[in-house]
Amino acid sequence: ELKVEQNPLFLSMQEGKNYTIYCNYSTTSDRLYWYRQDPGKSLESLFVLLSNGAVKQEGRLMASLDTKARLSTLHITAAVHDLSATYFCAVDSNYGGSQGNLIFGKGTKLSVKP
C-alpha cells in the first residue's frame, strides 16, 4: 500500500530565508505532483515530476524527484509572504501503467513572516 509522508507539517519562515519541504513515499512510482492550497480555496497544480532526477522551477519554488530514494523536495528560495499556503505532494499509485489514483501527503502549512 502506497503511503506518502510530508515533513514538516508546519513551517514558519522569515522572509528572505530558504527552506525545503520533503515528500517521501513508500512504493515505487514514476509520477509525483505538487499542489498549493490557499486558505478556504481549492488546490492549484504547481509541478508534475515524471522521472528520476527531474527538476522543475517556477519563481522561488523548485521541485525535484529522486525515484530511487522515493523522495521529492520542494525548495523555497528567499521566501516572501505571498508564498504562505499549504503545499501538498501527491503520488500516482499505478507505477509503470496508465492512469492511477493519487495518494496525497498530509500537507505542509507554510507561514512566511516579515
Partner 1 sequence: DAGITQSPRHKVTETGTPVTLRCHQTENHRYMYWYRQDPGHGLRLIHYSYGVKDTDKGEVSDGYSVSRSKTEDFLLTLESATSSQTSVYFCAISVKGGLYNEQFFGPGTRLTVL
Residue ranges that bind partner 1, judged by CB under 8 A: 31, 33, 41-43, 45, 48, 50, 88, 90, 99, 101-102, 104-107
Question: What stretches of the chain adopt beta strand conformation (E)?
Answer: 4-7, 10-14, 19-25, 32-37, 43-49, 55-58, 61-66, 71-76, 85-92, 102-104, 108-113
- Taking the chain, what is the end-to-end CA distance rounded to the nearest angstrom? 41
Name which of 19 and 104 has its Cβ closer to partner 1.
Answer: 104
Nearest distance in Å: CB 24, partner 1: 14
Name which of 21 and 105 has its Cβ closer to partner 1.
Answer: 105
Name which of 48 and 80 has its Cβ closer to partner 1.
Answer: 48
- Cα 102 → chain centroid: 13
Assess contact for 93 and 29: CB atoms under 8 A: yes
Nearest distance in Å: CB 88, partner 1: 6
Name which of 29 and 79 has its Cβ closer to partner 1.
Answer: 29
Nearest distance in Å: CB 110, partner 1: 15
